[in-house]
Structure 1
Amino acid sequence: MQPINDILQDEHGCFVYRVLKPLEVRSKLSMGEEYQTGLSFDTGDLVSVDLVRPSRVRDSKNGPFLRLSDCSGWLFERTHSDQMMARLPVKDGLWAFHVDNYPVGMALRRHPFDNSPHVEPTMLFESMQLIYCDKQVTAPNGVSSYRVQGTDGWVFDQRLREQGSKIFMLLPEG
């Protein structure tokens, strides 16, 4: 019989998960409250992940553990068999857009949702600046987010207002 560490393998790449239940980021690969960082995500938030690590504990009902792409910590897909997050499909491609948010432009976000914190240091794209994106994910509300090529940051194609109207943020090139 093979040791469990030889069977379970990490997944590296660009993954996006939707938060199903509020949870706090951990500083280590642990469920322990002593490792909570104070950063939390709410139901419906999308998070960008660059590493998926299965639990190394045999027959564990926790995990896999998810490292946030901005290296701010770890989340987990399940805790005690309770589903906390769900993976969304991420499309590969090449998209070119002009930022359409005059006069303020658009800041690069850490995660693919519009009220996600800005990437630090702040990277601001000017109105009508041409940007290239290499990944796309669409949230259940229909808003698509794109990872800006050469970064781990995200921009979104529209912002939904409370009264149901939309503000379009990106214009396709061409």
Structure 2
Amino acid sequence: MDLKALIRDIPDFPKPGILFRDITTLLSDPKGLRYTIDLLAQKCQEEGLTIDYIVGMESRGFIFGTPLAYKIGAGFIPVRKPGKLPSAVYSVEYQLEYGTDSLEIHQDALKPGDRVLIVDDLIATGGTAKATAHLLQKIGCELVGFGFIIELRDLHGRKHLPDVPIISIVEY
């Protein structure tokens, strides 16, 4: 299946000069969505990954991480923006192109030694994925890999990530 045909390009969004890869058109296609989740699960199996939990970042990581967790028989853990989780959290601040942002995870969501795959819709510069990996490091989890639907290769995000398998399905 040609997943690129299901991903809409929107020029000059969110600002001039940016070509936005819109996954809402992929999500609305039942066969495309099923194929995407099945392919991601297959690639995890081909990599030989043993996964206890999928960690997905707000919000599009939730969209792909939860059905992947279901498909492979793992749990799902959300990583959220500050103030969204009701219990005690670990947090990490990370650099954006202009400024900083933060992510949080419940302190009791995972335990040391849990094998975790980080999932998001897209890897660009790698900042959000790298920050999420730091959160897991605070807990003492074993990061087994990353899974992305889209990878923007020209932005070299994977060079900023730990040396674990990185799965991407569609590359631009």
TM-score bucket (shorter structure): under 0.3
TM-score, normalising length from structure 2?
Answer: 0.22
Greater fraction strand: 1
Q: Which has the larger radius of gyration?
A: 1
TM-score, normalising length from structure 1?
Answer: 0.22
